[in-house]
Amino acid sequence: MSAEFIAHVPFKTNHSNPLRFILSHIVRHPLVGILMVVGAFSNAAFAAAVPYFIGVAFNAVIAGNQADVIVHATLGVVISQFMRGCLQLMRNFCAETFSQRIERDVRDELYASLLGKSMDFHDRQPVGEIMARVTNDVREMNLMMNPGLNMIIGSGFFLIVPLITAPTIYPSFIILPTIFLVLYFMAQYRFIQTLNPIAQRVRSAFGDMNAKLAETLDGLQVVKGAAREQKEIDSFDKAVNEVRGYFVKQGYIEARYIAFLLLSMLTIGGLIQAIYLYELGLIDAGKIVAFLGVLFLYQFPVYSSLRSLSQVALGYASARRILMIINEKTDLDQNNAGRTAPIQGRIVFDHVSFGYTDSNQSLQDISFTIEPGQTVAIVGQTGSGKSTITKLINRSYDVDTGKVLIDGVDVRDWNLASLRSQISIIEQDIFLFSRSITDNIRFGKQAATQEDVEAVAQKAQAHEFITSFPEGYNTIVGQRGVTLSGGQRQRLAIARAFLTDPPILILDDSTSAIDSATEDRIQQAIWAASKGRTTILITHRLSQIRWADHIVVLRQGKVVAQGKHEDLLVSSESYSRIFARYEESAQPQADAARG
């Protein structure tokens, strides 16, 4: 399976289907699994000892003058239950360890898989739905192991032990347990078949609800700005009701759990059979007590299976949803064997066409060349494909037809990590992590010293506002940098790009949120930083367009002109119109600045 990034996890699991996926995680922890099974078996075995000793004591009481037998029976109960308690402690500890390890491993595996998916994959996936799978679905797999699988294993032995011990009391006592088990397993099969589709819908509806919640919170400013709070509440209420509805359906299925009726019929049948044999003189009163005590052992598997089977069904549904993400293929791959040489900076677009969807081509037959060390401005109307070009250079997306070459090598033939580590993109929509300013600046170069961080911050005209904060460079910015202004975020992003010192620097309208005075200083820094490296500018700033070595003009996804500023003003009507519009939009800003 292709992937942009493949984590080097110390284990390998089977992704062919949910059952094999679950089993491949289970077999990774054999010791705790074996101890859990041993504890479950001993629990059932020592539980069966209680009816036996009680039956012996019952006969001794009836017979009279057998105090030693009663004492021995009592000691048998005490010792067996003490040992049962110790082994139960071991079993429950192992079961919890087992489930927590599996949750950890599945979450690590899923997270690594998500990092390896292409941007095309993430463009199609709601963030809230992904979060539901990483958090709640993985948690459901934990609960599937404990208490789910733990109780199923334990109850399994409780189903077997009466079948073994009942005929030791009297041979014909094996009949009712055998009939019960046949009917019980038939009922369980039917129950699982009915419950599994509902469990799938429960997890799916929960994911949809989570996606709705995440989307609304992410766009909360828009919601409040449009006074849409009540509408969003009503919409979310529908999603909540859908989740509730599926849980109610699950409860309805569980309420009709026929195993309860089978247990009642077993108890009644066992009592009738025991009394009948007693009347025939084939068994004594103690054996009646022992037999009924053995039959009562079936209470645990019957009552626990309702919860455990429901939990396993939800866990299995969650495993299926997790596998859907892990097995989702991406068109990009790491290409570990690809080129890893230092980039010189020559970029060629050779008849490139690309569309985010098959029905909508964003770029059509694009061709142009950028020489090493050149500064190239890409201009055009909104939606003409300017930003899309930058995403093809670092392989955020792959071309549909044609080639993008760097230093004469198709970008698809480069080692992906080597390619991206030498290209720095500063976008208009700046993303900052909820970390310190220092950590955000050196995100792409963790080995950078504090002096290096401050040096690039000064070049990006960010040092002054950073030092104005009480915590300075240790200031924690809010999620996505919301505690900073747009201009401050852009200056931090520029500093981050300067620190990595990339051979190719791409600025996608990166100074749009900066005032004119600050822009002049940053422009000088960008001009200095662009020396000796290939720089691509996507901008509407006239000053930046003018000092570009080469200008590419786009219109509706096509290159309609390219050349120097002075030549394009004369030869390209499209460029003249764009340039005139930029001048018109820049004039009010200049007037405001003078005012």
pLDDT for res 33 = 86
Beta bridge partners of 426: 507
Chosen CATH of 345-422+505-512+536-595 out of 3.40.50.10470, 3.40.50.300, 3.40.50.970, 1.10.10.60: 3.40.50.300
pLDDT at residue 591, rounded to an integer: 43
Strand partners, 505: 424, 535
Q: Which residues pair with 369 in a beta bridge?
A: 348
Nearest alpha carbon to residue 514 among 456, 457, 461: 461
pLDDT of res. 1: 43
**Domain 428-501: CATH superfamily, name plus number:** P-loop containing nucleotide triphosphate hydrolases (3.40.50.300)
Closest-CA residue to 459 (of 441, 444, 447, 472): 441
Q: In sequence order, what are the beta bridge partners of 525? A: none
pLDDT of 298 reads 92
E strands present in 356-483 = 363-370, 375-380, 401-406, 409-410, 423-426
Which phi and psi angles does 427 have, rounded to 5°?
-100, 165
- 436 has which bridge partners? 476
Other C-beta atoms lying within 10 Å of the C-beta of residue 248: 11
Q: Is omega for the bond preceding 197 within 30 degrees of 0, making it cis?
A: no
Q: Are 233 and 220 in contact (CB under 8 A)?
A: no
User: Can you give the length of the chain in residues?
Assistant: 595
Residue 68 tokens read as 């030693």
What are the start and end residues of each CATH 1.20.1560.10 domain in the chain? 18-326
Q: 518 by DSSP, 3-state: which? A: helix
410 contacts 404 by C-beta, under 8 angstroms: yes
Q: How far apart are CA 217 and CA 199, in angstroms?
A: 27
Pick the closest to residue 363 from 227, 555, 513, 150 (CA basis): 555
CATH 3.40.50.300 intervals, the chain: 345-422+505-512+536-595, 428-501
Cα–Cα dist 585/592, whole Å = 12
Over the chain (595 residues), the average pLDDT of each successive run of 10 is 59 86 90 89 88 86 82 91 91 90 90 82 82 89 90 89 91 94 92 88 87 81 81 89 91 89 93 93 90 91 88 90 86 83 94 87 93 91 88 90 95 91 83 88 88 89 90 84 78 85 85 65 68 84 81 91 88 80 54 39
Q: Taking the model in full, what pTM does it have?
A: 0.74
Return the SS3 of 434.
coil
The runs of H, that is alpha helices, within 64-149 are 67-116, 119-124, 127-132, 138-143
Architecture of domain 18-326: Up-down Bundle (1.20)
pLDDT at 528: 66
**CB distance 41 to 277 below 8 Å:** no
